[in-house]
Structure 1
Amino acid sequence: MIDLRVCTLSKAVGGGIEGFTCGSSARSESAISEHFNNRLQNRQAGEEERICTSTIVQTFLILNQLLKIGKDLRRLYHVACFCRRELERCGIFVYGDVSAPVLPIHTGRLSYAAKFSAVLRRKGILATPVSIPAVEFWASRVRVMLPSDFSDGQVDRLLRRVVEAAGEMGLIQKSCTNKGKMIPYIYGDGEVSLREDEQEEEERAAEEKIRKLIVLDSTQKSTTTNNNNNN
């Protein structure tokens, strides 16, 4: 069984498919192939599906690069944990689980969420304001996304700008004694370098599968168009 659930994690690791796939690998492969074949048959019959080829390509790209996804998820976990600890140490309250790749920073009132979002945007950080009816009016917040491809330096700059913006907005807790004292982020994972060659081979294999998929789709589309013209 394939279970597709909407989430933001796929965007964080470069998928952009708005979901993740879970289930046995054998069943997943057969189910996806079956769905794609059904899509081709529907196209031949003149029945278009809403799912586009680019979405299918992105799905295959994710499913066929498990080593890359594993590496990205490990880094994303470390980045998320570090960012939350550092923001809380600097007197900024963050909602949610410590390992979530989203930083929902508390602002309180709706007007503060909108202003904080605008301040962060001026500093080069995309932060979406969230308030009623999604959350209680007194629990308004901004959501900062954490991608896995951020370098250590980019993580540091993100935190510095968030802390600076929070200071300008008066959102830092008065009891905080670490204002302005940032700890640099350093990430290391020995397993990644040991599997680099294997990961490159996995990437080449995934690209080859996608190339064949695009050729198959283009050929099928051309055949369908010719058949329609003949009719």
Structure 2
Amino acid sequence: MAKLTRGLPNISMEKLGSLNIAIRRNTPVASRCLWGLSSFQLDHVRSRTYATAVAAKALKDLNDRFRNELNAIKGAGLFKNERVITSPQGVHVNVEGYGTEMLNFCANNYLGLSNHPEIVRAGKSGLDQYGAGLSSVRFICGTQSLHKDLEKKLSEFHGREDTILYASCFDANAGLFEVICSSPDDAIISDELNHASIIDGIRLTKTKKFRYAHRDMKDLENKLKEAGNSRTKIIVTDGVFSMDGNVAPLPDILELAKKYGALTFIDECHATGFFGATGRGTEEYFGLPPGSVDILNSTLGKALGGAAGGYTTASKEICEMLRQRSRPYLFSNSLPPPVVSSAAKVVDMLMESPELVSKVHSGTNHFREGMKKLGFKVIGDPSHPICPVMLGDAKLTSKFASKMQDKGIYVVGFSYPVVPKEKARIRVQISAAHSKEDINRALNAFESIGKELGVI
């Protein structure tokens, strides 16, 4: 209302409020309220009042539309509730609304280090030495020695020449492809089930785009033939697909890349730190030497401390060009020092001893074998800690997950649009910190509820 008084005679807010209402209702009261106003000033009040009403209606229309859509989502059993955890991330968590501590089987905390005392100490040390944040992007005044140190450690860990840090792996994927494939003469060939961040990153490019059927090497080869003599061709895939827990056929992809002169890219968010004998990911899982894939993106937000941050590791030339041209890197604040320090400590631990990796593998085998004996359908690679328990129906899945939570087992149901329709599942994720007793407790809950709901 105060904006309406600019340029008007001295008129009280009460009178102007009455005027506003009167104009909207087009009543004679308006004439009594307008004592002392010129025709110009009256037109001004009327136009501003009309504009305010139009804007209010636009917001109301949007809210009404969203309210109807949200009700439809709830009616279909697809609404995603956010549960509030009131404790640190870990195997045991406190969840708002539940009186007892819960066993957590739905986090990406694969190594169980999100609240490990050494990692917490490292984060505090980074905070004490370098502060809370840089208040800047990297190329202005947002690079500290600890950023360069972590990039060097990640390069050594992955066997690459250089690494560039991002605020998230979503940013790393969003910032890569328009730099690598900057011309309509380039071509990107992407698995149809790649992560949303990869899809968004590819959409930003002005190049030729091809999508091949999931892990289908015959279709990939056909798309490579269609790409023809493109200036730069790059095959793009997740290393491990997070919803199904299955692994890209990397050796076959590399063979096709060699045959057709294509680069290779792999997203290792659900592999780095815990997949493969020493946690080096999909390359190691298949016995391939480090650096077999040209470009590797991954995250610090899962196994490597669980805070935030992502990175690209590749040749020096690729990383340096990303520093010059990658928009999420150039226009986002640098990673906070506590995050960098805690992630660096995790990499040190993995370099010194990969024993946590073997714990992930043994726990995964125990859970998968137990579920198989109970009669559940668990898909995905048998050695990967992502264990999707397939239930199919979205409402059944939501009900099953809710009953598991009531028994103190924190799992979440996944349904459309996160996964395809009729392929709803509970995605169980095993951590190095899960004991055999923890896993047995989850198995017992699955058995009890599975029988109650007629699933097994």
TM score, norm. by length of structure 1: 0.56
1:2 Cα deviation (Å)? 2.9
Q: Distance in 2 between matches of 1:75 and 1:88?
A: 20
- Aligned match of 2:363: 79
| 1:66–1:22 CA distance, 2 compared to 1 (3 A) | farther
Of 8, 12, 16 in structure 1, the residue corresponding to residue 306 of structure 2 is 16
Q: Distance in 2 between matches of 1:77 and 1:21?
A: 25
Q: Distance in 1 between matches of 2:304 and 2:445?
A: 24
Q: Distance in 2 between matches of 1:72 and 1:21?
A: 22
1:48 Cα deviation (Å)? 7.6
CA contact (8 A) 1:7 1:19 kept: no
| 1:12–1:169 CA distance, 2 compared to 1 (3 A) | farther
1:136 Cα deviation (Å)? 2.2
| 1:77–1:68 CA distance, 2 compared to 1 (3 A) | farther
- Aligned match of 1:145: 429
1:94-133 matches, within 5 Å, as 94-133=378-417
1:201-212 matches, within 5 Å, as none
CA contact (8 A) 2:385 2:429 kept: yes
Of 269, 272, 275 in structure 2, the residue corresponding to residue 7 of structure 1 is 269
Of 140, 164, 168 in structure 1, the residue corresponding to residue 452 of structure 2 is 168
Q: Distance in 1 between matches of 2:302 and 2:431?
A: 4
Q: Distance in 2 between matches of 1:68 and 1:50?
A: 28
Letter of the 1:95 partner, please give it: I
| 1:75–1:6 CA distance, 2 compared to 1 (3 A) | same
Q: Distance in 2 between matches of 1:136 and 1:48?
A: 33
1:58 Cα deviation (Å)? 2.0
Is 1:135 paired with 2:397?
A: no
CA deviations 1:118-143 (Å, max 9, x no partner) are: 01111111212111122222111011
Q: Distance in 2 between matches of 1:20 and 1:68?
A: 22
In the alignment, structure 2 segments of 5+ residues that lack a partner are 1-161, 170-266, 274-300, 324-329
| 1:146–1:2 CA distance, 2 compared to 1 (3 A) | same
CA contact (8 A) 1:8 1:18 kept: no
Q: Distance in 2 between matches of 1:162 and 1:75?
A: 22
Would you say how many aligned residue pairs link Structure 1 and Structure 2? 154
Q: Distance in 1 between matches of 2:306 and 2:393?
A: 31
1:59 Cα deviation (Å)? 1.1
Query: Which structure has the larger Rg over C-alpha atoms?
Result: 2
Q: Distance in 1 between matches of 2:313 and 2:334?
A: 24
CA deviations 1:102-132 (Å, max 9, x no partner) are: 2211111110111111011111112121111
Q: Distance in 2 between matches of 1:98 and 1:18?
A: 28
Q: Distance in 1 between matches of 2:336 and 2:372?
A: 42
CA contact (8 A) 1:131 1:140 kept: yes
Q: Distance in 1 between matches of 2:332 and 2:309?
A: 22
Q: Distance in 2 between matches of 1:107 and 1:162?
A: 12
Q: Secondary structure at the match of 2:355?
A: helix
Letter of the 1:55 partner, please give it: V
Compute the RMSD of aligned alpha carbons. Answer: 3.2
1:144 Cα deviation (Å)? 1.7
- Aligned match of 1:177: none
Larger RCO of the pair (alpha carbons < 8 Å, separation 6+): 1
Q: Distance in 2 between matches of 1:17 and 1:8?
A: 15
- Aligned match of 2:340: 56
CA contact (8 A) 1:117 1:129 kept: yes
In the alignment, structure 1 segments of 5+ residues that lack a partner are 36-41, 173-231
1:53 Cα deviation (Å)? 2.1
Q: Distance in 2 between matches of 1:20 and 1:48?
A: 12
1:101 Cα deviation (Å)? 1.3
Letter of the 1:7 partner, please give it: C
Letter of the 2:163 partner, please give it: I
Identity %: 20
Pick which of 50-59 and 6-15 moved more: 6-15
| 1:18–1:106 CA distance, 2 compared to 1 (3 A) | farther
Letter of the 1:118 partner, please give it: S
Q: Secondary structure at the match of 1:83?
A: helix
CA deviations 1:67-118 (Å, max 9, x no partner) are: 6761111111111122112101110111211112122111111101111110
- Aligned match of 2:16: none
Q: Secondary structure at the match of 2:380?
A: coil
Q: Distance in 2 between matches of 1:18 and 1:98?
A: 28
Q: Distance in 1 between matches of 2:309 and 2:361?
A: 18
